[in-house]
Amino acid sequence: MDLPSVWFVGIAVLWTGYLVLEGFDFGVGMLLPVLGRGSEREADRRVVINAIGPVWDGNEVWLITAVGAMFAAFPAWYAATLSGFYLPVLLIIVALIGRGVAFEYRGKVDDPRWRARWDAVIVAGSAVPAFTWGLVLANVVRGVQLGPDGVVTSSLLDLLNPYALAGGLALLALCVLHGAVFLALKTDGPVRHRARVVARRTASAATAAVVAFLLWTLADHGTGWTGLAAAAGTAALLAAALLVARRREGWAFTATAVSVAAVVVVLFGSLYPAVLPSLTDPAFDLTVTNAASGPYSLGVLSWVGAVFLPLVLLYQGWSYWVFRRRVTRAHVS
pLDDT digits (tens, 9 = 90+) for 183-204: 999 998 899 999 999 999 999 9
Q: Is the dihedral of CA 74, 220, 162, 207 positive or negative?
A: negative
pLDDT digits (tens, 9 = 90+) for 266-317: 999 999 999 999 999 999 999 999 999 988 889 998 998 888 888 888 988 8
Find the mean pLDDT for residues 20-45: 89
User: Cβ distance 146 to 183 under 8 Å?
Assistant: no
Q: How far apart are CA 197 and CA 211, in angstroms?
A: 22
Q: How far apart are CA 126 and CA 138, in angstroms?
A: 19
| Average pLDDT for the chain | 92
Q: Is the pLDDT of residue 331 over 80?
A: no
Domain range list for the chain: 3-331
pLDDT given for residue 28 in this prediction: 96
Cβ neighbours of 294 (radius 10 Å)? 9
pLDDT given for residue 40 in this prediction: 81
pLDDT given for residue 1 in this prediction: 65
133 or 322, which is more confident:
133
Report the percentage of the chain scoring pLDDT > 90.
Answer: 72
> Buried b / exposed e across 76-97, counting CB within 10 Å, b at 16+?
bbbbbbeebbeebbebbeebbe
| Minimum mean pLDDT range among 73-87, 172-186, 218-232 | 218-232
Q: How confident is the model at residue 89 (pLDDT cuts 50, 70, 90)?
A: very high
Report the percentage of the chain scoring pLDDT > 70.
Answer: 99
Q: How far apart are CA 295 and CA 238, in angstroms?
A: 44
Cross-strand pairs, 144: 278
